Chains A and B, each alone.
Chain A
Amino acid sequence: MFTIIDRRLNPKGKSLANRQRFLRRAKEQVMRAVRDASGRRKLKDIDVGGDIVISPDGIREPTFHRSASGGLRDIVVPGNKEFMTGDRIGRPPRGGGGGGNEGSEDGGGEDEFRFALTREEFIDLFLEDLELPDLAKRKLKVTESVSFQRAGYSVSGSPTNLNLVRTMRNSLARRIALNRPTGDEVKALREEIDRLERDNSDAERLRAARAELEVLLRRTQRIPYIDPVDVRYNRFQAVPKPSAQAVMFCLMDVSGSMTEHMKDLAKRFYMLLYLFLTRRYKHVDVVFIRHTHRAQEVDEETFFYSAETGGTVVSTALEEMQRVVMERYPVEEWNIYAAQASDGDNALSDNAKTSALLSQVILPMCQYYAYIEVGQDGVPSGIGYGGGSRETDLWRTYKTIQGPSQPLAMKRVTHRRDIYPVFRELFSREAAQDAMAEGVDA
């Protein structure tokens, strides 16, 4: 005899708990790998998960085993073709061929550990402990979605929501209260009648029993087993679910002075910002605006890869952004974020206009405005606010605007490895709290 059981419908992900333990264990290595991996991806593809390679430190499972070299070993192998007893053979190169039956167990050949992360895991690790500043400030989207929550019981509802336990409990209580005959009582009486009929002895009792049975049956019919008053349904309540939406403006100077390296830095920053926003908002739009001496809204491909020549007038980009906001993204419905990347050049005559535009139009409608100044690789730059004599035009201009009540952040980046720390600095939890506190002050 044998049993065959279909286990295919068993809950999946039995090893999920083990996986979480593994990720927690290898967290440091995984984080590092995740950040490396993010450097190689396209802006919109960053959040798809995928393979990562980590070093096996910290996830080794050591065992006592004998070393793979040295000493005297006896090995038996198949496939002899030409050897005779007493022949001498050179050692095969380490790691291959006809030797080591105990060579590479866990310790030996394992230099790196490769595995795949899911999208959620990837992003969680990538954005750990970051927070959006001033998140609470702005509007929810007009159309609200609705979710249903359990909320007690009701006497009406659709059959699928029938609550059996409640219904049967009510039914039982009512049956007891109204003294409905149980099946056992009826059965016992029927058996007695049967017996009496067969015996034919006690006619009196038989008659009485029959009458009693009739009463019982009548009662049973009068008092239903389940009455409509017993029935209870699970009640669900519609709870409006606010869904916030955000738009992200990417502004970049694409004039001749911006090298590929600088654009790459900018792209990485945008990528992080995009990723971060998609974690916080259901719906994120991205608007790309590039500018030289005139600005233009473009698609991603053009934004990053096509070259343009011309002077540099930053205010055009801000104007373009203002236009797009007016046209498509009403301030009361959208959370607006902007990130500007530039090498810091601006036409001298434009600085005043830029400053005015930024402080009076753009910043009031923005949730957050980040200015990233990208520099040549290898040119040392004091990251932070005190660049001294090497401050650029734009940096100086923005610095005058910057103040505790303004959602403006400025950072300098010269190397790829700085991007992530700078991003973290901008959005770390404490910074977010500071921003909140400042918001209250103002």
Chain B
Amino acid sequence: MTLMLTSDSAPLYTGADWDYDKVRRTYDAIERIAVGEMGLDIYTNQIEVITSEQMLDAYSSIGMPLLYKHWSFGKHFARDEGLYRKGLRGLAYEIVINSNPCISYIMEENTMTMQALVIAHAAFGHNHFFKNNYLFKQWTDADGILDYLSFAKEYVAKCEERYGFTLVERVLDAAHALMNHGVHRYPRRRSLDLRLEAKRELERQEHAERTFNDLWRTVPSKTGGPHPLSDRDRRRALLELPEENLLYFLEKKAPRLQGWQRELLRVVRHVAQYFYPQRQTKVMNEGCASYCHYRILHTLHERGLITDGAWLEALHSHTSVVFQPDFDDPRYGGLNPYALGFAMMQDIERIATTPTDEDRAWFPDLAGRGDGMAALKEAWANYRDESFLLQYLSPALIRKFRLFHVRDDAREPEMRVQAIHDERGYREVRQALARQYDIAWNEADIQIVDVDLTGDRRLLLEHRVMNQVVLEEEEARAVLQHLADLWGYEVVLEEVEAASGARLKKHTVGPRTVLGGRSE
């Protein structure tokens, strides 16, 4: 049996081995389809061939080609390496970096078909997504990231040289513990110009040195001392509280940190901010990339540019990537973002081209508009996972995945099935699933609410508890310990029920060692 549909041209390559010529030919063919026909808008590609060991390296430093040194990356490397050596875990086929030019790593062990798949997936799919999604546009600077990381790496190395490993490590440990709470969730006035960061740091220092005048110290203060900030609101306004970006607050306001320690917090904060969009767009990003590789390779095969064998190999990889086990399957480990993303992209295309009556009722604007690619590009540009699911998850797909919504209330002996894939349940399932991908729902909402500046400088934080789920105590205390070390004084975290304002729990932690050796 032959699957060859048309064979108007010779295949780009045969066999499993790859070489640079084949990769170039294949890349050009893929580009003709991706850019010429699908109209993807991409950063210039830079494809780098690496070994599996280098892939492990890249893994351990959260996928970045250069990053400052820290023991936790060594720990991850040791674990990944162990798992890989024993064959318990395979390596990702690719890593792609949101930078301009867009760097994709491909492994030398891959077959030529895998390289084609990876190029279509990463160098075109992810690349298009990085360049066009609004979150990435707003929060990341693809042009400057590599320069910034190289600045950060050097800066950390210099600090280690000057202040010793231990001190630097302590600051970085503390900063890493707070990393997830070191992002701005809403755009601010200042723009994130990462490229100028190194220069600005220097300028800040120079300015401080230039304007230093010892005379100011001798100027007598107003009679009666500074105006006492008794009014809580005035105090909060002064410190711009409440503040949910804990690292930002510490960097700017912690009384006892030294300049270099603040700069380290800033580095970690920037890295966290850079990854913030990725955490919010897993389903879409992978969906987009999977859709692209599938469509591109399918087209290549249709035109006879790859052999039947290569196509079957690609299909094998593709299906194992987008496989979704059921909840009662031992292999189940949550919803697979590749599976859900890929299915949704295909579904959007289907609704746009061949809608059913149900689709017309659910998606009046989208159904039957004809141009699937345009609809997809619109979705890729303007949504994040949560809003994307809320907007595009169709009843047909809910039926296909047989999604159901379970409510687990600790006060009741059993869990209750709230909704299943039926007429009454679609909206509820969709809403619940979208929330599952909303970072604001998933992550604890922790804010700094007050500082007792005139008294003992105690820092007051609040966790707004949702659905009575409090923080995991042991870990929370460990993080608070880090926080207290940075702040230099006692730190209190109160867990407050969001709806009723009831106070559920209170953790108080004093500083163990003050990180800022001397007060300023």
Contacts and interface: CB of A to CB of B under 8 A. Distances in A.
A115 B82 contact: yes
B362 interface: no
B74 A21 contact: yes
Contacts of A4: 20, 23-24, 27, 46-49
B171 to A, nearest CB: 14
A15 B61 contact: yes
Contact of B73 (A5, A18, A98, A113): A18
B442 A73 contact: no
Contacts of A68: 472
A61 to B, nearest CB: 6
A233 to B, nearest CB: 36
Contacts of B444: 64-66
Interface in B384-426: 401-410, 414-422, 424-425
A26 B403 CA distance: 44
A78 B74 contact: no
Contacts of B325: 79
B473 A67 contact: yes
A106 to B, nearest CB: 8
B163 interface: no
Interface string A19-54: 111111110000000000000000000000001000
B326 A78 contact: yes
B469 A66 contact: yes
A101 B436 contact: yes
B254 interface: no
Given A67-B469, A71-B469, A83 B404 contact: yes
B245 interface: no
B467 A80 contact: no
B417 A83 contact: yes
A78 B335 contact: yes
B44 A2 contact: yes
Contacts of A64: 180-181, 443-444, 446, 463, 471, 475-476, 479
A80 B403 contact: yes
B239 to A, nearest CB: 21
Nearest to B179: A63
Q: Which of A64, A77, A113 has the most C-beta atoms of chain B within 10 angstroms of its own C-beta?
A: A64
Given A7-B54, A83-B417, A101-B334, A18 B70 contact: yes
A75 B75 CA distance: 32
B51 interface: yes
B77 A19 contact: yes
Contacts of A63: 177, 179-180, 475, 479
Contacts of B70: 18, 21
Given A61-B177, A77-B406, A86 B417 contact: yes
Interface residues of B, number: 97
Interface stretch (A89-97, A224-232, A426-434): A89-97
B60 interface: yes
A90 B179 CA distance: 36
Contacts of B24: 4
Nearest to A91: B415
A75 B408 contact: yes
Given A2-B123, A76-B436, A85-B425, A8 B51 contact: yes
Among A6, A63, A68, A87, the most chain B Cβ lie within 10 Å of the Cβ of A63
Interface stretch (B214-222, B225-233, B294-302, B427-435): B427-435
B356 interface: no
Contact of B416 (A10, A24, A51, A88): A88
A80 B329 CA distance: 11
Contact of B478 (A1, A6, A60, A86): A60
A71 B475 contact: no
Contacts, number: 263
Contacts of A200: none
A105 to B, nearest CB: 9
Contacts of B53: 12
Interface residues of A, number: 65
A99 interface: yes
Interface string B311-325: 000000000000011
Given A20-B74, A87-B417, A65 B401 contact: no
B74 A79 contact: no
A70 interface: yes
B279 to A, nearest CB: 13
Contacts of B382: none
B414 A91 contact: yes
Question: Taking each of A19, A68, A91, which has the highest tally of chain B beta carbons within 10 Å of its own beta carbon?
Answer: A19
Nearest to A115: B78
Contact of B49 (A5, A65, A76): A5
B477 to A, nearest CB: 8
A72 B74 contact: no
B69 A17 contact: yes
A69 interface: yes
Nearest to A11: B54
B242 interface: no
A114 interface: yes
B49 A7 contact: yes
A21 B81 contact: no
A102 B69 CA distance: 29
B408 A62 contact: no
A96 B402 CA distance: 20
B516 to A, nearest CB: 21
A307 interface: no
A3 B45 contact: yes
A77 B327 contact: yes
Contact of A67 (B46, B57, B470): B470
Interface centre among A61, A78, A86, A101 (most CB of B within 10 A): A78
Contacts of B332: 77, 79, 97-98
Contacts of A75: 405-408, 432, 436
A74 B442 CA distance: 11
A326 interface: no
A107 B405 contact: no
A195 to B, nearest CB: 46
A22 B332 CA distance: 32
B256 interface: no
B416 to A, nearest CB: 6
A266 to B, nearest CB: 33
A115 B81 contact: yes
A8 B468 CA distance: 51
Nearest to B414: A88
Contact of B407 (A1, A65, A72): A72
17 contacts: A7-B105, A8-B50, A8-B51, A15-B74, A22-B71, A23-B74, A62-B479, A63-B475, A68-B472, A74-B435, A76-B403, A78-B402, A79-B326, A79-B328, A87-B417, A90-B415, A98-B328
Given A70-B470, A77-B327, 15 more contacts: A2-B45, A7-B49, A22-B71, A62-B476, A63-B180, A71-B469, A72-B408, A74-B408, A76-B406, A78-B324, A81-B326, A98-B328, A113-B75, A114-B82, A116-B81
